[in-house]
Amino acid sequence: MFYDIKYEKYIKNINVDPGMIYFFYNLDKSFYYNFKIDIKIYKDPIDVPDNIYRFIKLTNSFKSIYLNEIIEVNNIEQQNLKIIGSAHSLDFEYEELMSDLPNLLVNLISKTKKLPASFIMDIMLKGNKLANILLNINKLIEKAYKPETEFEDLINSILKILTSDQGAGFDRAILFKKYNENYEVISAKKSMLYFFEYDKCKKANKIEMNILENKNDLELIEEDEKFLNKLKSIKISEKIIKKNDYIKNILIKNKSEKLPLSSMPLITINKLGIVGELAIMPIKLNEKIYGFIICDNKYSLNPISDEQIEIMEYLKKQSSMILENKIAINILKTEAEIDPLCKFRNRNSYEKYIEKLNITDEKSLGIVMIDIDNFKKINDTYGHSYGDEILIKFSDTVRKYIRKTDNIFRIGGDEFIIFLHNTEKEKIKEIIENILKDFKSENTFTFSAGGVIKKDENIYKYLEISDKNLYISKKNGKGILTFS
């Protein structure tokens, strides 16, 4: 159906609310509803209600709504819009067409018979749910850009969205990560609705709008750990995946889909305790397969809905970008804070760490300053490349003896400082003496060290003491540790 060209620019410029677009998008997917539109439109385009232009624009965009007839009228108030269905029609007079979208929708629902009205409400509820999911994905993006957020925290948040009733609403979400020739379970979460026996289920009696809010609930954390520990030994061989056309094609297409139970290896079905339908969400990062998430409704036994798959697919697309960005941020962070030669944290990172220590009251913190003896002479005699080799050997030796919880920084050419947490003087002396012995036996070179244990809040006082003890060690013959 054609309309006068004088209306064209108004139709092009009219803004259509995303809620209306979402409504007709879902209507297009339905085989049950198709509508014709008859319009009476005023001869002067300036005085035509915006809602008439919106409906014309919608008829140009969606197949479920068709512009059947458009008639020009000479009286503004004669303008009218009629929606014609297979069973009945709806009339909207001029005053109604001049109302805002919420009032227009109220009129639409009030004039609609029970079945179409329930369909409209269903679409509106889906839209609201998607809006809440978008809110939580936005929270996930905010979380990803925080420096303290670990990659594993983001994975856990994605599983939360998949299993929350405010998210995709699956009963379980289980992440398989690709390790060498296998896909192994590394993380898993189940819906809070099924954490406890129903008479003890106090955690799920409240609607949580912010899915990702960190509640630090020890009981929930323990239940999460128990659930994961039951599944952690489960592996699927990559050979089995490659022989399975169904799973292989899903991973290649990189698209979330329902997965027939028969497509899963029987041993995996038994170990996971799968009893009904399942869905798979591939995770591809920087064009490489990271792994996949298996979701099911094991406890409720509900069939997996198209809505769950849609949410899963949307989350997959957003998650890939979020995780890729986090990897890039971590690389930049590493380049900015890690010394490229020794692979210890650098001076810049050290300054930030000291600022952090200055506002904490951590005690029993061992501080050891180290200086490789005669290092300038080593460089002058053997060359800087050889000096670099000595620094690398020293670094490798240190790594043998310090814990992952300890921190070591390269703060100068041959100067290092180690922070050992929750330890005692004798233990620190033992560690440093072992490093010195090992380093000396391999290279015949030595280092001097000055140590102290921090006993109160003033970190700068103890750094000064450690530095003075290092000076004493170098003055008294080198290759020794002075501790106070």
pLDDT of 201 higher than 50: no
Q: Give 65-112 pLDDT, tens digit per residue.
A: 889 999 999 999 999 999 888 777 889 999 999 998 888 877 877 777
- Which ranges in the chain are annotated with CATH 3.40.30? 5-112
Banded pLDDT at 206 (limits 50, 70, 90)? low
pLDDT at 194: 65
pLDDT at 200: 41
pLDDT of 48 higher than 80: yes
Instruction: Please tell me the CATH code under which domain 147-334 is placed.
Output: 3.30.450.40
pLDDT of 225 higher than 50: yes
What percentage of residues in the chain have a pLDDT greater than 70?
89
pLDDT of 291 higher than 90: yes
Cβ burial 17-56 (10 Å sphere, 16+ → b, else e): eeebebbbebbeeeeebebbbbbbbbeeeeebbebbbbbb
Q: Give 303-334 pLDDT, tens digit per residue.
A: 999 889 989 999 999 999 889 888 877 767 76
Banded pLDDT at 116 (limits 50, 70, 90)? low
- Which ranges in the chain are annotated with CATH 3.30.70.270? 347-483
pLDDT at 115: 53
Segment among 44-53, 170-179, 203-212, 296-305 with least mean pLDDT: 203-212
Give the residue with greater pLDDT, 196 vs 6.
6
Q: What is the mean pLDDT of the chain?
A: 86
pLDDT of 203 higher than 60: no
- Judge whether 436 and 456 are in contact, CB under 8 Å: no
Segment among 22-26, 257-261, 474-478 with least mean pLDDT: 22-26
Q: Give 436-453 pLDDT, tens digit per residue.
A: 999 998 888 999 999 999
pLDDT at 263: 84
pLDDT at 145: 81
pLDDT mean over 150-161: 90
pLDDT of 213 higher than 70: no
Q: Which of 40-49, 158-167, 229-238, 399-408 is modeled with the greatest confidence?
A: 40-49
Q: Give 378-402 pLDDT, tens digit per residue.
A: 999 999 999 999 999 999 999 999 9
Torsional sign, CA 417, 418, 421, 424: negative
Q: In angstroms, rounded to a whole number, what is the distance separating the alpha carbons of residues 428 and 421? A: 10
Q: Which amino acid makes up residue 259? A: L
- Which ranges in the chain are annotated with CATH 3.30.450.40? 147-334
pLDDT at 342: 92
| Class of the CATH-defined domain 5-112 | alpha beta
pLDDT of 352 higher than 80: yes
pLDDT at 166: 79
At the topology level, CATH places domain 347-483 in Alpha-Beta Plaits (3.30.70)
pLDDT at 57: 92
pLDDT at 195: 57
pLDDT at 212: 64
pLDDT at 202: 45
